[in-house]
A = this chain, B = another copy of it.
């Protein structure tokens, strides 16, 4: 039963890496709606080559953003080490939103749900746990409002996705202002409607 020949020929490996690099850049600057043909052309390979390494477009997208997700979760775990939980919390929010703003395809990939890609799901669960803990500590310091829920970060991420969908060059500045407003609100203590029952990344679409 299976397993792929993890031993690629050197030229094949070079092509694969070239494709990944090109795809990463193109997805970042133009979003996910780029024809496979265009990616292949810019990578200097034929379409077939692309499809032999990544049997479907989704597979390519998943491969490209796998590491992005990894750095996302690492940001979260790093924040747990910050002696000031509130600062850690702010850093997480700012960093992740900045990543989203800098990469046009990131939001789309994030929201596109991964039918397969189990490792991603696993990472996600661990990140969610870490976030819960971080929020707990931040609340304990009194800086984070008591009725904050982790799902509010999904809210923020989706909102930020809306921002990023607009003009590319204004995205970063706009995203920063959005984050600032949110952090402002996370500290306030006025009334709020009940939290929405969203799962951290499912229940989207």
A→B interface (CB under 8 Å): 107, 111, 152, 155, 158-163, 165-167, 170, 173-174, 176-178, 180-182, 184-188, 190-198, 203-205
Contacts and interface: CB of A to CB of B under 8 A. Distances in A.
A165 B176 contact: no
19 contacts: A111-B166, A152-B181, A155-B178, A155-B181, A158-B165, A159-B160, A161-B162, A161-B165, A167-B203, A167-B205, A170-B203, A173-B193, A174-B196, A177-B192, A177-B193, A181-B182, A184-B185, A185-B188, A187-B188
A155 B161 contact: no
B163 A158 contact: yes
A86 to B, nearest CB: 13
A158 B152 contact: no
A197 to B, nearest CB: 7
A192 B203 contact: no
A178 B158 CA distance: 10
A158 B198 CA distance: 20
A170 to B, nearest CB: 5
